[in-house]
């Protein structure tokens, strides 16, 4: 569920560049690739089927699969997914299993070490043992369909072109592959271990207020835990590769509105998960129909069912809760045997799993995963020699046996809130904010998943692994998780914001998302009446910046206090006249966001190693609070040490403006947000050559929005916008035969398909397509016959 990370793009660049260059690449694209385009019309023989299955791909490439049984439905789902997304599916299972180096070489070894250590496949194996027979059967049917396609594609020489590019063929698909990809979703959305590692470094390098201000909220029991962290320092600088960490802004928006506030008198539901924007999309939209179900929405390639969407009676969507579900423990290894660790005064043998990593065109790397009673040891991945000192192990909910797929398959067939909520009891990792609506008028919300109850501490720092006083005492009881059904306000909305009040008895996290997206959604829904699906789509495309509404006046005041407002009069005037919309054609958003980006770089970056700074999450959470306190007359140690808030704000402004002028000229009137903030949907092999980039990546496109607007469009320091609404969805419960979607950049993973990049412009403009589940979908028709 994440963007292709930098290391993977580099790896595939290197692998691709070795075999395709210049004119040769052009010939390859135009001749060989065309042979591997999926068949979408006519008839194909699929021996694993029992009866004929019809697949209609509509005008946006959404497959509508109609089968005579669930067995054939899931077989056909596997076959069709493989037609459009086999390379993506294979890459995902390899990445999650720690087996990329086998096909792309030595540069993937660090990634393989991380995912072997995080033990996603091992956790999937344990989870599979706990699944019921019905879910295991579905996994097997799905795998049969995938494998039927693999066999046919190999026999016909029609495997996706990426396999030839990298010089290997896909292995047989297994049920375990599907569950491992599901565990990867939990990794992408699952916790804040890097925050704990950063704070461990911080408490060993700063004292007093400077240390305290690097916490989102300073823990109540900090003194004793900080003493333990200082008594047993673990090397953090140089120990972790920040490029392997999921994007910080992984999140989502969702909301549901009761019929009392809608034009139809029935609920409206909207959902847009914010993840990496890639070619092909993380999501694959499908419609599945059998005598037992009629369900549509999106799923990850490689997994059966529909994880987000609707059926004929209900609709649902999710955002990430973001709870603290990854704890780090300071472990004391035995100097005479580093596979033994101290616990309650005794040396305890850890589990040791040999995980040799095969490397394409290289020697196998010997590697082992060491797991204490808490979890795998993670702190020595990037270090050649950690000596006999303390190490960090990680306890994580996703490493427990869980049954998310069972929940998905069950709620796909639910008809009301009671059935849906009962199914959710098996959706444990990652924890998600589910919003729900039904044709009976019910709207509901639940923060769902396994959220630990700690014996001691609040999960903000590593804790002593040798002490039985620390650890988990279980999970928040299912019936005590945050929940609302038909609230008086007439709507429920979440945007990774704080979802509990001060009186909630359990700890969830201190690391909620900035509140601006939620506040804007709630503001619009409170004011709205007679709301329509079009209003929901417009809200998903809303670019009002409430971050600037909170801080901009004070920040401009700092410029005036230092005299910089006169020196930079054009830029300041632009900010003062700004309507606070992150519009691609305006200059003010460019100034504001570059300014905000610069604040932690000015204040914090000089005080720590570069890789530790990169590891540090929530940089602007921290500098936001520094600004709030300083402007309230309570400057903290960092701000005071810098010379005051006005000096800090002004210096950051000058550096931001200088970088803008270097890139776009000195005349501020010519600056535009869209010149910097540009959308990309990178393909994992698009960087192999300029020719492949031209064919595989859609053109960079100026785009409105930002990471703090409802129209989520997260961007890197260079302005590349590759994170945001990976799927947009709106449902009107008055007529669930049709719903509205955008799946950027398109449905197909094949460059020769009409549906490869056909939704890239739709994503920018907010042009939704309609998907129907009433049998009226028209388009390419394919018969799959036994």
Q: What is the pLDDT of residues 390-402, one digit of tens each?
A: 999 999 999 999 9
| Assigned domain for 465 exists | no
| Assigned domain for 436 exists | no
Whole-Å CA distances, 190 to 450, 475, 500, 508: 11, 15, 19, 13
| Residues 225 and 79 placed together within one structural domain of the fold | no
| Assigned domain for 714 exists | no
Residue 387 Cα to chain centre, angstroms: 35
The pLDDT, as a whole number, for residue 690 is 76
Q: How many domains does the chain have?
A: 3
Whole-Å CA distances, 282 to 97, 228, 660, 707: 18, 41, 32, 19
For 302, the token pair is 């490689």
Annotated binding site for Ca(2+): 324, 327
Q: What is the pLDDT of residues 563-582, one digit of tens each?
A: 999 999 999 999 999 999 99
**Which pairs with CB-CB distance under 8 Å and at least 24 residues apart come from 646-651?**
646/558, 646/561, 646/562, 647/562, 648/599, 648/602, 648/603, 649/555, 649/558, 649/559, 649/599, 650/558, 650/559, 650/562, 650/564, 651/602
- Which of residues 147, 171, 189 is at a domain's end? 189
**Residues comprising the chain, all counted:** 786
How far apart are alpha carbons 278 and 145 in whole angstroms? 25
Measured in degrees and rounded to the nearest 5, phi and psi for residue 495 equal: -150, 50
| Residues 134 and 49 placed together within one structural domain of the fold | yes
Q: What is the pLDDT of residues 502-516, one digit of tens each?
A: 899 999 998 899 999
Whole-Å CA distances, 146 to 41, 162, 177: 19, 17, 11
Asked whether 109 and 357 are in contact (CB, 8 A), the reply is yes
How far apart are alpha carbons 460 and 457 in whole angstroms? 8
CA proximity to 695, closest of 741, 654, 753: 753
| Residues 618 and 606 placed together within one structural domain of the fold | yes
SS3 764: helix
Task: Specify the residue for token string 């939209």.
Answer: 285
Read off the CATH number of the domain in which 144 is found.
1.10.439.10
Q: What is the mean pLDDT of residues 682-708?
A: 87
With a pLDDT cut of 90, the percent of the chain lying above it is 85
- Which of residues 642, 671, 700 is at a domain's end? 671
Q: What is the pLDDT of residues 346-382, one digit of tens each?
A: 999 999 999 999 999 999 999 999 999 999 999 877 6
- Which of residues 637, 671, 705 is at a domain's end? 671
Q: Residue 242: pLDDT above 90?
A: no
Q: What is the pLDDT of residues 578-623, one digit of tens each?
A: 999 999 999 999 999 999 999 999 999 999 999 999 999 889 999 9
Task: Specify the residue for token string 């329509």.
Answer: 532
How far apart are alpha carbons 321 and 20 in whole angstroms? 43
| Residues 176 and 228 placed together within one structural domain of the fold | no
With a pLDDT cut of 70, the percent of the chain lying above it is 94
Q: How confident is the model at residue 49 (pLDDT cuts 50, 70, 90)?
A: very high
The pLDDT, as a whole number, for residue 24 is 53
Four-point Cα dihedral 86, 91, 93, 97, nearest 10: 160
Integer Rg of the chain from CA: 26
| Assigned domain for 626 exists | yes
| Assigned domain for 771 exists | no
Indicate the helix (H) or strand (E) that contains 464.
Answer: strand 463-464
Cβ contacts of residue 560 below 8 Å, gap of 6+?
none
| Residues 185 and 205 placed together within one structural domain of the fold | no
| Residues 171 and 185 placed together within one structural domain of the fold | yes
Q: What is the mean pLDDT of residues 240-251?
A: 81
Cβ contacts of residue 496 below 8 Å, gap of 6+?
251, 252, 319, 320, 321, 322, 433, 512, 513, 517, 518
The pLDDT, as a whole number, for residue 536 is 98
| Residues 47 and 85 placed together within one structural domain of the fold | yes
Q: How confident is the model at residue 17 (pLDDT cuts 50, 70, 90)?
A: very low
| Residues 157 and 219 placed together within one structural domain of the fold | no
Read off the CATH number of the domain in which 207 is found.
2.30.120.10
How far apart are alpha carbons 380 and 350 in whole angstroms? 16
For 484, the token pair is 């609302």
Asked whether 65 and 76 are in contact (CB, 8 A), the reply is yes
For 572, the token pair is 């300041």
Q: What is the DSSP string of 163-207?
A: HHHHT--PPPP-HHHHHHHHHHHHHHHS--HHHHHHHHHHHTT--
| Assigned domain for 525 exists | no
Cβ contacts of residue 641 below 8 Å, gap of 6+?
210
Residue 701 per-residue DSSP state: E
How far apart are alpha carbons 540 and 493 in whole angstroms? 12
Q: What is the mean pLDDT of residues 18-31?
A: 50
Q: Exactly one of 252, 258, 393, 689 is catalytic; name it.
A: 252
Cβ contacts of residue 319 below 8 Å, gap of 6+?
251, 252, 253, 254, 271, 273, 432, 433, 494, 495, 496
Per the structure, the complete domain to which residue 232 belongs is given by 193-246+326-399
| Residues 89 and 183 placed together within one structural domain of the fold | yes
The pLDDT, as a whole number, for residue 384 is 57
Spell out the alpha helix ranges (H) of 300-430.
Answer: 404-411, 417-424
How far apart are alpha carbons 472 and 452 in whole angstroms? 6
Residue 510 Cα to chain centre, angstroms: 19
665 HSE (CA, 13 A, CB side): 8
| Residues 386 and 238 placed together within one structural domain of the fold | yes
| Residues 89 and 224 placed together within one structural domain of the fold | no
Asked whether 197 and 236 are in contact (CB, 8 A), the reply is yes
The pLDDT, as a whole number, for residue 386 is 53
| Residues 146 and 48 placed together within one structural domain of the fold | yes
Known catalytic membership, residue 252: yes
Q: What is the pLDDT of residues 610-667, one digit of tens each?
A: 999 999 988 999 999 999 999 999 999 999 999 999 999 999 999 999 999 999 999 9
| Assigned domain for 539 exists | no
| Assigned domain for 382 exists | yes
């Amino acid at each position: 569920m994440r963007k292709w990370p930098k290391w993977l793009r580099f790896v595939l660049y290197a692998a691709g560049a070795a075999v395709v260059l210049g004119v040769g690449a052009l010939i390859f694209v135009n001749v060989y690739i065309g042979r591997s385009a999926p068949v979408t019309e006519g008839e194909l023989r699929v021996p694993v089927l029992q009866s004929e299955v019809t697949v209609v791909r509509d005008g946006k490439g959404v497959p509508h699969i109609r089968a005579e049984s669930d067995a054939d439905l899931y077989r056909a789902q596997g076959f069709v997914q493989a037609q459009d997304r086999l390379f993506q599916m294979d890459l995902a299972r390899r990445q999650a299993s720690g087996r990329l180096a086998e096909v792309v070489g030595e540069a993937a070894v660090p990634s393989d070490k991380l995912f072997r250590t995080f033990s996603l496949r091992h956790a999937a194996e344990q989870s599979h043992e706990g699944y019921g027979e019905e879910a295991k059967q579905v996994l097997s049917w799905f795998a049969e369909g995938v494998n039927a396609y693999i066999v046919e594609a190999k026999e016909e020489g029609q495997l996706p072109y990426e396999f030839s590019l990298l010089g290997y063929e896909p292995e047989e698909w297994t049920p375990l592959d599907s569950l491992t990809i599901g565990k990867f979703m939990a990794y992408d959305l699952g916790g804040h271990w890097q925050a704990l590692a950063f704070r461990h470094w911080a408490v060993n390098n700063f004292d007093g207020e400077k240390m305290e201000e690097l916490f989102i909220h300073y823990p109540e029991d900090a003194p004793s835990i900080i003493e333990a962290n200082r008594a047993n320092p673990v090397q953090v600088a140089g120990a972790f590769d920040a490029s392997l960490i999921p994007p910080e802004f992984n999140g989502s928006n969702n909301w549901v509105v009761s019929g009392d506030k809608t034009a139809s008198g029935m609920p409206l539901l909207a959902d847009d998960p914010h993840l990496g924007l890639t070619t092909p999309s993380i999501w694959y939209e499908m419609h599945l129909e059998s005598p037992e179900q009629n369900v549509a929405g999106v799923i990850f390639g490689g997994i059966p069912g529909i994880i987000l969407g609707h059926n004929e009676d209900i609709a649902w969507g999710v955002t990430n809760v973001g709870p603290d579900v990854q704890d780090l423990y300071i472990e004391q290894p035995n100097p005479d045997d580093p596979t033994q660790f101290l616990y309650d005064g005794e040396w305890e043998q850890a589990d040791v799993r040999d995980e040799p990593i095969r490397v394409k065109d290289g020697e196998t790397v010997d590697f082992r995963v060491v797991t204490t009673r808490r979890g795998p040891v993670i702190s020595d991945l990037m270090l050649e020699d950690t000596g006999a000192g303390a190490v960090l192990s990680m306890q994580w909910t996703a490493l427990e046996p869980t049954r998310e797929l069972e929940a998905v398959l069950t709620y796909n067939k639910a008809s009301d809130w009671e059935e849906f909520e009962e199914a959710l009891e098996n959706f444990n990792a990652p924890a998600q904010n589910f919003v729900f609506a039904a044709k009976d008028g019910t709207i509901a919300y639940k923060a769902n998943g396994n959220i630990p109850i700690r014996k001691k501490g609040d999960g903000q720092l590593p804790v002593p692994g040798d002490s039985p006083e620390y650890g988990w005492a279980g999970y928040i009881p299912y019936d005590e998780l945050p929940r609302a059904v038909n609230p008086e306000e007439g709507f429920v909305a979440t945007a990774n914001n704080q979802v509990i009040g001060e009186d909630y008895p359990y700890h969830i996290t201190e690391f909620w998302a900035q509140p601006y997206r939620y506040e804007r959604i709630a503001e619009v829904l409170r004011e709205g009446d007679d709301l329509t699906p079009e209003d929901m789509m417009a809200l998903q495309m809303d670019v009002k910046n409430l971050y600037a509404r909170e801080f901009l006046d004070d920040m401009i005041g700092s410029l005036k206090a230092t005299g910089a407002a006169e020196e930079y009069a054009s830029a300041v005037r632009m900010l003062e006249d700004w309507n606070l919309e992150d519009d691609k054609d305006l200059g003010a958003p460019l100034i504001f966001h570059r300014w905000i980006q610069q604040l932690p770089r000015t204040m914090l970056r000089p005080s720590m190693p570069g890789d530790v700074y990169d590891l540090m999450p929530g940089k602007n959470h921290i500098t936001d609070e520094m600004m709030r306190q300083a402007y309230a007359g309570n400057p903290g140690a960092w701000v005071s040490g810098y010379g005051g808030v006005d000096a800090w704000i002004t210096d950051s402004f000058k550096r931001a403006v200088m970088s803008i002028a270097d890139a776009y000229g000195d005349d501020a009137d010519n600056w535009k947000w869209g010149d910097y903030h540009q959308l990309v949907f990178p393909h994992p092999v698009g960087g192999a050559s300029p020719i492949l980039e031209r064919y595989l990546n859609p053109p960079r496109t100026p785009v409105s929005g930002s990471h703090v607007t409802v129209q989520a469009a997260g961007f890197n320091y260079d302005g590349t916008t590759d994170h945001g609404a990976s799927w947009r969805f709106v449902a009107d419960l008055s007529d669930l035969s049709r719903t509205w979607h955008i799946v950027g950049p398109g449905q197909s993973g094949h460059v020769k398909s009409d549906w490869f990049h056909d939704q890239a412009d739709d994503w920018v403009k907010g042009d939704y397509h309609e998907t129907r589940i009433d049998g009226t979908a028209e388009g390419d028709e394919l018969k799959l016959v036994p």
